[in-house]
């Protein structure tokens, strides 16, 4: 495995060199020179959106709570089209008109400079670094139990490689790398799913084993928790419309027509990769309950499964796929945090953005270091950390992106208040959940978004349109 990691580390040098040659201006560095068609944007968007959360946290969640975990992915067939419909089309229109290259650029174009841009940049920094922490923690788990090398080594290689090529070439190189990683993830997921389900005797056999040992794992909505799981369904259905690493891809489209087949590409890729959640979750849980494997805790279901059932061919495929998942998400988030720090925050304070790409490259490295610290300190599971980062984006950006961009009367004041209130409500609920050691009835991200949405409508109605 150390050989594989060394090969990946060596491959980054020509990639970074090529990227540095291609990315010479902010449009290339942050928006991939706006040259993406539906395939490139769809595969890259899916790869960026899917991460260690899907390969490690997803099957782990299935092993913790059973089939109810599928509520998190039941919205997957809707999200590609919903994104394009609700936010992709207005973002592409604003991009063509105002030449936007970041998500805060879009909000500044719609609601005016200053606070809207600055608050959106802040949400992206906090949510982005938290989500990056998930990727790094996922890497450590992967190394400890799956690759038979120290976790810190895998995490260091994955993050260092991603940081080097993203820092050098930004999204000009990151977009192509993510698209390639998306293809690898989709193919590998299908192969892994088929292998594990064959090992357990097929999906029907797996379901029978679970039904015999833990029938409560096959309840669609566990008693007393129905509202919670439906909330997660809605969080992941609507939340995708507010995830900046998805939305970023709309800024890279070469024309409006590219939107037409984008949902078909992204949905096909998404569903292919999500077979891991169902296949490894179902098959792995059956093998666990049948006594054939014994992972120490649910997050280690995938590594345990692969170390037992993956042969010399399958193990490298799985390794590359999981590393690709981690690296693709990390690349987009690093680039967005760098844009927020070096472009959007200075513009929000009335200053000019840095004229060269040097500070953006340095900010990319700084963001990776901050995320590493979070991963070291984090005590939550990968799945919970993933939801935390997702919730921050949902609470902060969903009202202003989904309602604000479409509604002509949405005002600057309403948008600013929504951008402040949503994350505050979400953070307060997260702190309350941590203090009480439970996930309360109020899903933090959606509750924050709901409060933000109400305030956006109320203050816009009261003050009229000001942008």
Footprint of other proteins (CB under 8 A): 67, 70, 73-74, 76-78, 80-82, 84-86, 89, 93, 96, 203-204, 207-208, 211, 215, 218-221, 226-227, 230-231, 233-234, 237-238, 241, 255-257, 259-261, 263-264, 267-268, 271, 274, 278, 282, 402-403, 406-410, 441-443, 446-447, 449-451, 453-454, 456-458, 461
> CB-wise, 164 or 467, nearer to other proteins?
467
DSSP of 410-457, one letter per residue?
Answer: --HHHHHHHHHHHHHHHHHHHHHHHHHTS--SS-HHHHHHHHHHHHHH
- Least spacing, CB of residue 185 vs other proteins, in Å: 17
d(CA 164, CA 159): 8
Distances (CA, A) of 333 to 15, 128, 172, 401: 19, 5, 14, 18
> Which tokens sit at 331?
């690349």
- Least spacing, CB of residue 411 vs other proteins, in Å: 12
Determine the distance from the C-alpha atom of residue 134 to the mean position of all C-alpha atoms in its chain, rounded to a whole number.
10
> Which tokens sit at 226?
């129905």
Residue 2 CB coordination number (10 Å): 12
> Which tokens sit at 234?
């809605």
- Least spacing, CB of residue 215 vs other proteins, in Å: 7
- Least spacing, CB of residue 57 vs other proteins, in Å: 18
d(CA 444, CA 428): 8
- Least spacing, CB of residue 16 vs other proteins, in Å: 34
- Least spacing, CB of residue 364 vs other proteins, in Å: 32
Determine the distance from the C-alpha atom of residue 177 to the mean position of all C-alpha atoms in its chain, rounded to a whole number.
16
Beta bridge partners of 253: 36
H-helix or E-strand containing 397? helix 382-398
d(CA 40, CA 265): 9
- Least spacing, CB of residue 42 vs other proteins, in Å: 10
> CB-wise, 88 or 174, nearer to other proteins?
88
> CB-wise, 21 or 441, nearer to other proteins?
441
Residue 99 CB coordination number (10 Å): 12
> CB-wise, 116 or 118, nearer to other proteins?
116
> CB-wise, 56 or 418, nearer to other proteins?
418
> Which tokens sit at 222?
């566990």
Identify whether the C-beta of residue 238 lies closer than 8 Å to the C-beta of residue 394. Answer: yes
> CB-wise, 21 or 465, nearer to other proteins?
465
- Least spacing, CB of residue 77 vs other proteins, in Å: 4
d(CA 159, CA 369): 9
d(CA 333, CA 162): 11
- Least spacing, CB of residue 460 vs other proteins, in Å: 8
Identify whether the C-beta of residue 409 lies closer than 8 Å to the C-beta of residue 463. Answer: no
> CB-wise, 342 or 391, nearer to other proteins?
391
Instruction: Provide the terminal-to-terminal Cα distance of the chain, rounded to the nearest Å.
Output: 55
> CB-wise, 22 or 234, nearer to other proteins?
234
- Least spacing, CB of residue 266 vs other proteins, in Å: 8
d(CA 97, CA 93): 6
> CB-wise, 68 or 134, nearer to other proteins?
68
Beta bridge partners of 36: 253
H-helix or E-strand containing 100? none
> CB-wise, 235 or 347, nearer to other proteins?
235
């Amino acid at each position: 495995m150390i050989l594989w990691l060394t090969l990946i580390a060596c491959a980054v040098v020509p990639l970074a060199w090529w990227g540095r040659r291609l990315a010479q201006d902010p449009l290339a560095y942050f928006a991939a020179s706006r040259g993406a068609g539906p395939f490139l944007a769809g595969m890259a968007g899916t790869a960026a959106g899917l991460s260690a959360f899907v390969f490690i946290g997803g099957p782990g969640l299935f092993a913790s709570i059973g089939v109810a975990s599928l509520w998190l992915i039941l919205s997957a067939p809707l999200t590609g089209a919903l994104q394009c419909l609700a936010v992709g089309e207005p973002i592409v229109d604003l991009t063509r008109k105002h030449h936007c290259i970041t998500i805060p650029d879009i909000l500044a174009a719609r609601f005016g400079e200053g606070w809207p841009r600055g608050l959106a940049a802040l949400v992206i920094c906090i949510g982005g670094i938290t989500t990056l922490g998930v990727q790094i923690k996922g890497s450590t788990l992967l190394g400890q139990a799956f690759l038979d090398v120290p976790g810190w080594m895998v995490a260091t290689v994955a993050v260092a490689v991603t940081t080097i090529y993203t820092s050098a070439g930004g999204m000009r190189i990151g977009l192509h790398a993510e698209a390639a990683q998306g293809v690898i993830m989709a193919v590998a997921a299908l192969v892994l799913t088929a292998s594990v389900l064959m090992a357990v005797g097929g999906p029907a056999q797996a379901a029978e084993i679970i039904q015999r040992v833990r029938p409560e794992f096959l309840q669609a909505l566990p008693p007393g928790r129905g509202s919670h799981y439906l909330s997660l369904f809605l969080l992941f259905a609507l939340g995708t419309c507010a995830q900046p690493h998805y939305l970023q891809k709309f800024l890279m489209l070469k024309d409006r027509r590219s939107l037409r087949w984008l949902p078909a590409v992204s949905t096909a890729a998404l569903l292919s990769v999500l077979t891991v959640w169902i296949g490894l979750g179902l098959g792995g849980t059956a093998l666990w309950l049948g006594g054939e494997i014994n992972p120490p805790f649910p997050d280690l279901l995938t590594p345990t499964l692969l170390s037992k059932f993956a042969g010399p061919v399958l193990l490298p495929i799985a390794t590359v796929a999981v590393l690709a998942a981690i690296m693709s998400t990390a690349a987009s988030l690093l680039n967005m945090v760098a844009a927020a720090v070096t472009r959007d925050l200075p513009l929000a304070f009335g200053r000019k953005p840095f004229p060269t790409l040097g500070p953006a490259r340095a900010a990319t490295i700084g963001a990776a270091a901050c995320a590493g610290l979070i991963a070291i300190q984090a005590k939550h599971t990968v799945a919970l950390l993933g939801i935390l980062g997702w919730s921050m984006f949902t609470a902060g950006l969903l009202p202003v992106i989904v309602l604000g961009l479409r509604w002509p009367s949405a005002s600057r004041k309403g948008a600013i208040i929504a951008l402040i209130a949503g994350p505050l409500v979400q953070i307060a609920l997260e702190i309350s959940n941590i203090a009480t050691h439970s996930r309360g009835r109020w899903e933090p991200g959606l509750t924050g978004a709901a409060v933000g949405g109400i305030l956006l409508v109320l203050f816009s109605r009261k003050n009229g349109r000001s942008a």
